[in-house]
Structure 1
Amino acid sequence: MPLSQTLKLAVRFSLREMRGGLSGFLIFLACIALGVAAIGGVNSVARAITAGVANQGQTLLGGDLRFQINQRDATGAERTFLNGLGAVSHSANMRSMARLEDGSDQALVEAKAVDDAYSLYGALETEPALSKQDLFGEKSGVFGAAAPDLLFERLNLKLGDRLKLGNAIFELRARLVTEPDAVSEGFGFAPRLMISTDGLAATGLIQPGSLVENAYKIRLPAGTTEAGIKAIQDQAAKDFPEAGWSIRTRSNAAPALSSNIERFSQFLTLVGLTALLVGGVGVANAVRAYLDGKRGVIATFKSLGASGGFVFTVYLVQILLIAALGIVLGLILGALMPFAASAALQSVIPVPAEGGFYPGALGMAALFGLLVTLAFALLPLGRARDVPATALFREMGLEGRGFPRARYIVAAIGIALLLAALAILFSGDRRIASIFVGATIVAFLVLRLVGALVQWAARKSPRVRFVALRLAIGNIHRPGALTPSVVLSLGLGLTLLVTLALIDGNLRQQISGSLPEKAPNFFFVDIQSSDVDAFATLVGRQAPQGTLVKVPMLRGRVMALNGIAVDKVEVPAEGAWVLRGDRGLTYDEKIPENATLTEGTWWPDNYTGEPLVSFSAEEGKQIGLKLGDTITVNVLGRNVTARIANFRQVQWETMGINFVMDFSPNTFAGAPHGWMATLTDKNASTADDARLLNAVTRAFPAVTTVRVKDALDVVNRLVGQLGTAIRVAAGVALIASVLVLAGALAAGNRARVHDAVVLKTLGATRRTLIAAFSLEYMLIGLATAVFALAAGSVAAWFVVARIMMLPSHFMPEVAVATIVFSLVITVGMGLAGTWRVLGHKAAPVLRNL
């Protein structure tokens, strides 16, 4: 018979057989739909947010172009250049301390000063709605301001109350509802206080070396293309090579947000793929159970002369049709997620997700779903192909038939490798994706080995007198036992859950426990050089037991490495942050007390030679630097090139004063700059901290004071939100594990019915059988939990200690929770299925033996 006719006949038989319904494939459908929905939905949401950023680039940026200069205003020539491009809006951002008019309380704020042209795109929304003059203008020597609810709550304020910022008084005239360009300004640890540029000038906070960010946003003439914007950027770099400004365009309005969304979506995609792979085990179980139930039909096919290839084709078509249904269900759920996320994420991400249909994301999910189905279905299908009709009539099932033909094994392995390659190819971070794929392969192999070891241990265990336990041990290692399926399905989900729980727990422990113990009480920024001594005297008087450390500080942007512009240097992702944006810089005559040289030597006292720099060893290695290389940094509009004299070990986790780059003092001779300081006083109470904060704010209003505990609380809250999102994602994989476990138990029910009936015929009681099945599930669950605990602990240690470079600790409570959860799931679901098994009548089963 020609191939086309054979295929047509196989399809016809497949459709006829499926008239009986999908009763054996509900878990199959759920596994595929869940994994496809997770992958398609996550990527659709990510693309929806990215589309939202792209479509609202002008509003989010506040212009078509944004030039940012730190610690200085644009020069006359630079401003003339910017004015020639189009309408210009100037804003200035800086952190400072806002205090009540009577000085009784204060809070750190992110002050943003805007001019009359603000905003070029989008609308500033306040409550009540006021004109710019009414909102920010000066009235009887008092300027206006707007702030979000957070600042009102933090200082117990109401509309009309007044605040002091520096030397100026501001009246809170409105609540800040929407700041159109907030996303482009980056993440802030403090609430916004929006004022006018005239108001900021009156504060006296702008001093030489003050950490202020000046942003010049440009509205270009209508019709300016992306090529035209690129030409402007090139012209700016050519005309002002030492401006040191960062230039952002409307197509790259919020790079930090876009990058974080991309990374998080990659992570969730991998988690979704884990769920899909776990579901693949459910596919294999469902296919095996379905074919086992069709043994009579297969025997009839073969008795009537059907070839093994025809049988394989009939059931492959059925599996693909059912998988297609599961994929469609998953795609529908995934396609709806951007619409749901548009409302749910509005309070978390200040960018509306563009609800829509994203075929690329959904197509990738569908492809993954199809490949997982084929990879896990081919082996049981191939095994059924070669089972002779006589064996099907004589035996209860398909177990113990050995391996299928080599072509099916090779095809399954080939599809699995294609799946791994696509997972890596579709990922933005190929290294992380490769680690994930490798870890998944190892986990599958190891879990298979664990299942085999559990069966071997049960087989070799001494004979026990307790009948129920003896039956349980026998069930663990008998042919067709559930052990491999349960260990594999539950092991993957629990391992992922343990890994994420330990990472989250270690991060929380660092933020709420270890870091506060090591970290200083306060950071002080923007201390003017003329005030350093007086400031130290005041702090010494207020905190006599404390340790004050102060260092000079400037801000600079790395422009070139060894004379090559940084945008033309390929740098690994882990070290790229050093070259992105402005970095804090300092200089030292002698090696800092908290530094350890790893290579090179420190410069001598009173050094006057070429500028030298000490570079952080870890970051230098990541970037690929070596002794003698040169670094060019732009400070206050001037490019300075220094040669690397040494590398030093920097312990970032202490949260003390640390810099990537520490220069020789002659490098910045005469450059205006401020100082930063830390105060460490472990015996200080909350009241002591409040008294010190109040005294510093009153005496030095221009000094920005950051209480480390408050900053850590903000970080802890963010980690908590991230941890919740990660646990939800891990829950998807765990749900898939539970579904697969249910499928594995259902697949073994027929064999359980046979065992139960025979044992009851031989005199076993219902209580004995329940005890035996309970002990069997408990032993398998315990072995799986122990493996998940060991594997998850190693994975979490690697992430925390080797990637995050933080101390890693084992948490017993996670161990206990994992074991309890594993036992509850396995024993509970096992008994739920067993209860139905024990209710079967003996006669119908014995009649078919």
Structure 2
Amino acid sequence: MTAASLPRATPGRTGSSLATVLRLAVRDLRGGLSGFWIFLACIALGVTAITGVGSVADGLAEGLAVQGRTILGGDASFSRVGALLSPEETALISARGRTSTIGEVRAMARRADGNATLIDIKAADASYPLVGSVTLDPPQPLAAALDKGPDGLFGIAADATIAVRLESKIGDILDIGTGRFVLRATLRQEPDKLAGGIALGPRVLMSADGLRAAGLAGPGSLVRWTTRVELAKADAAPVGDADLTRFVDTAKAAFPQAGWDIRTRRNVSPEFDRNLGRFTQFLTLVGLTSLVIGGVGVANAVRATVERKRASLAILKSLGAPGGLVFAISLTQVLAVAAVGILAGLAAGAALPFVILALFGQYIPFPLDPSVYPRELLQGALYGFLTTLAFSLGALGRAHDIPVSALFRDQIDPDQTRLRRRYQIYVGLAVAALIGTVFLFTPDWRLSAIYMGATLVAFGLLRLVALALMRLARALPHPRRMETRLALGNIHRPGALTPSVVLSLGLGLALLVTLTLIDVNIRRQIADAGTGDVPSFFFADIPSDQQDAFKQFVTTHAPGVSVAAVPMMRGRIVALRGVPVAQIKPKPGSAFALEGDRGITTSDVVPDGSTLTSGAWWPVGYSGPPLVSFDKGLAEGLGIGLGDTISVNVLGRTVTAKIASLRQIEWEKLGINFFMVFSPNTFAGAPHSDLATATFAKGGGDAPEVALLKAVAGAYPTVTAIRVKDVLQTLDHLVGQLALAIRGASGVAIVASILVLAGALAAGRRARVYDAVVLKVLGATRRRLLASLLIEYAILGGATALFGILAGGGAAYFIVTRVMDFGFTLAWGPAIGAALSALVLTVVLGLAGTWRILGEKPASFLRAS
């Protein structure tokens, strides 16, 4: 901006028109965006993160909704463990359209040489699938692959991983349960695969007759029977959501005690929807953190702009322009630049689902339906706009009262004018609006409050760290070495970069350490669960009349192994204190207990791994009204306690029991334990199977565990053996995928920290050049200047890294112990590794940003000054 471009001042004028403000702002921006690139990058990065995460989540939710009918296998499904639908229930459902029934159960597949593996069976009737298609290799009709052949054996189609686990190929004969099956095809596509949940073994598709021939569907078995229906109208018109809802309500009213788990095409997986919402919320907060960190870059850029244009601002004010005009012009420029960054971020975020689908669509196990989502665009734009205001208004407002003389000597005598009250109000309103927006777009108010509180505390602590560091540097006695003396002076001098560097790196590093320690503790929890005195196997579907024989068999073939067995059934909670679960609003972490079937057992004694916290256990041989012992933490989440009643539907029969005691359960020991343990008389005479664990004294090993697996698979073909080590490996893989996504999101915040740090260094370039030139005139060499900068950045990086370890460790401890309910270990290695990386990053970027400064020639700079 030049003097010739300025409007003629009017004496006594106290305001300026909007047109004048816009004209001057546009004229000034014609010179380019010098000094605003970091600003642009910070805003664009944060908006991209928030918009992209929301768009991908919406794409997944929309894909699930659009393909819900295919994933579910129909318009509605009715499932129950252990019992098929009754003829009356089937008649009601089949009257509305075509139906198909499948049975799902885990079992063992064995080769002739004794090798065995856990498999997930889906037994289908002739109508399967109602929607979609099954793809087999080699191509053939599904019925032909599963029906009984000329050799009298049923066929199966299996996931390709079964070939790896059993070294089998097409045409091989496998033993499953008490039956023999021919592997006729590899299962390439299964339309309703997602509806089956997490698979612990290869999927095996067989016919319903094949399941019965395998002896896996007897009384007490844990087969989940699901009947799907494809609704149809008399006029063949599509069945709308309203008709679907009426149909489900009619079925519930007709059979209130059925104990069904009902799903529709609109809520294929409530658990997936809820987890997707939580994960999206978490990643959005991570994206917001990157935007807040970027806000520090905005503040630095605005301060640097005011400092860089002090001559133009001085001329403008000397011509009679009021402080309000200076503020308005600068704010207009800032908002214009922010608009460019916001638009770039919105474009990148909106494109993210399309990019992910194009590059990784074949690897994503969930349906992704990319589109442009206005709500996510609005959210990203609003966050970007409010962040810009919150972090720029203070810096812009200070220019209002800076006199011309102070602007000219700001380099050596920075002005300390207090921010006017009205600008303080503006900043407060912008911050309040930003906080309100977080609550508006985040459904979990508790999480939002924790996040905002933690952010404000982090800002305050980082500010205190910076001030303490500056005060300490000022209070220390002057070192004899010039390099150290210069470094300490740079830390506490007026206009020092200390607050910006500490704040920008501190937030990003604290987030990185938090996520690293959470990941380490989750993985350690999984690893520790597979060591020590914990079970090596879970054995399910043991016939109740063979429990003693089974225990004897295991201890004979694996001497020293301890075996524990309990009866096991599956039941669905239908009411608490007489109130139907549909009317219960549990805490978020406890809602899972009211969805689907839960394992239940009976016992005369307190199970191992459980400690009574209140109430009393029933006496041996108790014969009074049904009693139940409940998990203490889950009871608190569901809002129930001692003396309350709980109603559970088991095999289509509802039983109501009173809570007699609450227990603290040590789940990490992986022993046999259940949320609900009933008095034995509650289910006397009900068909059931037993669940057993086998624990090697010193953790076992591959050889003895495999030997026991082969022995049990051969002697008890209908018993399902679940090896704990294999399950933990599956969980570790899932955790790894989740951690990768979280690290990717947190990487955005780290990049924002780097950008802010670069911006802070750029903002202080003029002061650095001034210092370097003066020191060179006084005889300082480049080596000495470089050494002083190295010491300065090492001190700043070390202090910030220490804060990151402490703050990140504290946050990780809270999340792991309070939210995840795990034990916490401070992993010094990963934490220190992150701290050292921050230290190296600070030093490298600091030196890179000042290398050219050290090469400035004093003569050219002095002539320009």
TM-score norm. by structure 2 comes to: 0.96
Check if 1:373 corresponds to 2:364: no
Q: Does 1:107 align with 2:117?
A: yes
**1:700-758 Cα deviation digits (max 9, x unpaired):** 11111011011101111111111111111111100000000000000001000111111
Alpha carbons of structure 1 residues 411 and 250: separation in structure 2 relative to 1, 3 Å: same
Residue 80 (structure 2) aligns with: 69
Contact 1:518 1:655 (8 Å CA) reproduced: no
Of residues 555-564 and 504-513 in structure 1, the stretch that sits farther from structure 2 once superposed is 504-513
AA partner of residue 578 (structure 1)? A
> In structure 2, what residue type is equivalent to 1:318?
Q
Letter in 2 for 1:581: G
User: Residues 141 and 343 (structure 1 numbering): CA distance in 2 closer, same or farther, change over 3 Å?
Assistant: farther
Q: 1 CA distance for matches of 2:588 and 2:693?
A: 31
Against the structure 1 CA distance between its residues 106 and 300, is the aligned structure 2 distance closer, same or farther, given a 3 Å change threshold? same
2:73–2:228 contact (8 Å) kept in structure 1: yes
- Report if aligned partners of 1:70, 1:213 keep a CA contact under 8 Å in 2: yes
Task: Confirm or deny that 1:709 pairs with 2:725.
Answer: yes
Indicate whether 1:53 and 2:64 are aligned.
yes
**Is residue 2:139 matched to residue 1:129?**
yes
Q: Which residue of 1 aligns with 2:257?
A: 242
Alignment of 1:97-176 (within 5 A): 97-100=108-111, 102-139=112-149, 140-176=151-187
Taking the aligned partners of 2:165 and 2:610, their CA distance within structure 1 comes to 38
Q: Which of 38, 41, 53 matches 1:27?
A: 38
Q: Distance in 2 between matches of 1:471 and 1:645?
A: 72
The answer to whether 1:796 aligns with 2:812 is yes
Offset of residue 673 of structure 1: 0.5
- Letter in structure 2 aligned against 1:183: L
- 1:42 alignment partner AA: V
Q: CA deviation at 1:41?
A: 0.6
Q: Which residue of 2 aligns with 1:385?
A: 400
Name the counterpart of 1:720. 736
1:808 to 2:824 alignment = yes
CA distance in 2 between counterparts of 1:386 and 1:128 reads 81
CA contact under 8 A between 1:400 and 1:480: conserved in structure 2? no
Find 2:755's aligned residue among 719, 736, 739.
739
Return the offset for 1:766.
1.1
Which one of 234, 253, 256 corresponds to residue 271 of structure 2?
A: 256
Q: Could you tell me how far apart the structure 2 residues matched to 1:175 and 1:133 are?
A: 14
Residues 114 and 714 in structure 2, CA contact (< 8 A), matched pair in contact too: no
Higher mean C-alpha deviation, range 220-229 or range 711-720: 220-229
* C-alpha separation in 1, matches of 2:414 and 2:357: 49
Check the 8 A contact 1:91/1:215 in 2, yes or no: yes
Q: Partners in 1 of 2:409 and 2:703 — Cα distance?
A: 84
Output one character per residue of 1:135-186: Cα deviation in whole Å (capped at 9) or x when no partner.
1111021111111211122211222222111111221221111111111222
CA contact (8 A) 1:127 1:176 kept: yes
* Matching residue of 2:631: 616
Question: 1:675/1:123 Cα in 2 relative to 1: closer, same or farther (>3 Å)?
Answer: same
Are 1:689 and 2:699 counterparts? no
Confirm whether residue 308 of structure 1 aligns to residue 318 of structure 2: no
Q: Verify the 8 A CA contact 1:797 1:808 in the aligned structure 2.
A: yes
The CA distance in 2 between the partners of 1:513 and 1:240, in whole Å, is 46
Is residue 426 of structure 1 aligned with residue 441 of structure 2? yes
> Quick check: 1:519 aligned with 2:529?
no
Shift of 1:765: 1.3
Q: Measure, in 2, the Cα distance between the counterparts of 1:494 and 1:69.
A: 49
The CA distance in 2 between the partners of 1:369 and 1:279, in whole Å, is 10
CA distance 1:270–1:446, change in 2 (3 Å) = same
Alignment of 1:590-601 (within 5 A): 590-601=605-616
Aligned with 2:206 (options 192, 195, 218): 195
Instruction: Give the deviation of 1:542 after TM superposition.
Output: 1.2
**1-structure distance, mates of 2:250, 2:484:** 82
SS in 2 for 1:23: coil
Identity percentage over the alignment?
Answer: 48
Which of 317, 322, 332 is matched with 2:337 structurally? Answer: 322
Q: Once the 2 structures are TM-superposed, how far is the Cα of residue 514 of structure 1 from its aligned partner?
A: 4.9
Match of 2:766 in 1: 750
Instruction: Supply the AA of the counterpart residue of 2:752.
Output: A
1:325 Cα deviation from its structure 2 partner: 0.4
Aligned CA distance change for structure 1 residues 94 and 256 (closer, same or farther; 3 Å): same
Partner of 1:583: 598
Most deviating of 760-769 and 664-673: 760-769
Report whether the alignment pairs 1:666 with 2:676.
Answer: no
Counterpart residue number, 2:797: 781
Is 2:670 the partner of 1:655?
Answer: yes
The farther-off stretch of 52-61 and 421-430 is 421-430
Preserved CA contact (<8 Å) 1:342 1:352: no
Match of 1:219 among 222, 230, 248: 230
Residue type at the aligned position of 2:728: L
Corresponding residue for 2:588?
573
2:308 paired with 1:293: yes
Q: Is the 8 A contact 1:60 1:254 kept in 2?
A: no
> How far is the alpha carbon of 1:682 from its aligned partner?
3.5
Alignment of 1:195-594 (within 5 A): 195-221=206-232, 222-396=237-411, 399-594=414-609
Q: Which residue of 1 aligns with 2:103?
A: 92
How far residue 397 of structure 1 moved from its aligned partner, in angstroms, is 7.2
- SS of 1:310's partner is helix
Contact 2:562/2:697, CA 8 A, preserved across alignment = no
Structure 2: how far apart are the matches of 1:197 and 1:349? 30
Distance 2:262 2:746 in 1: 39
Conserved 8 A contact 2:286-2:746? yes
1:50-81 deviations in whole A, cap 9, x for unaligned? Answer: 11111111111100110011111111111111
Greater alpha carbon shift after TM alignment, 397-406 vs 783-792: 397-406
Give the match's secondary structure for 1:346.
helix
- 1:821 aligned to which of 837, 852, 857: 837
Consecutive unaligned residues in structure 2, runs of 5 or more: 1-9
Cα deviation, residue 516, structure 1? 2.8
The question of whether the paired residues in 2 share the 8 Å contact of 1:6 and 1:310 is answered with no
Q: Deviation at 1:596?
A: 1.4
* TM-score normalised according to structure 1 size: 0.98
CA change 1:784–1:805 in 2 (3 A) is same
**Counterpart code for 2:306:** L
Give 1:772's aligned residue: 788
Q: Which residue of 1 aligns with 2:849?
A: 833
Runs of 4 or more consecutive aligned structure 1 residues displaced over 6 Å after TM superposition: 1-4
The answer (yes or no) to whether the contact 1:516–1:709 under 8 Å persists in 2 is no
Instruction: Give deviations 1:662-698, integer Å, cap 9, x for gaps.
Output: 0011100110001101111043231110110001011
Q: Deviations over 1:635-672 (max 9, x none)?
A: 00000000011111111111111110100111001100
Cα deviation for residue 18 of structure 1 reads 0.8
Aligned counterparts of 1:177 and 1:344: Cα–Cα separation in 2: 21
Task: Say whether the 8 Å CA contact 2:15–2:325 is kept in structure 1.
Answer: no
Q: Secondary structure at the match of 1:24?
A: coil
SS in 2 for 1:69: strand
Other structure's SS at 1:545 match: coil
Aligned equivalents of 1:145 and 1:444: distance in 2?
61
Could you tell me whether the CA contact under 8 Å between 2:15 and 2:324 is conserved in 1?
Answer: no
For structure 1, the residue ranges without an aligned partner over 5 or more in a row are none
Cα pair distance change 1:587/1:348, threshold 3 Å: farther
* Mapped partners of 2:59, 2:253: distance in 1: 36
Structure 1 residues 230 and 514, CA, compared in 2 at 3 Å: closer, same or farther? closer
Distance 1:663 1:150 in 2: 39
Which residue type is aligned with residue 123 of structure 1?
S
Find the residue that maps to 1:91 and give its secondary structure: strand
1:83 corresponds in structure 2 to 94
Secondary structure at 1:702 match in 2: coil
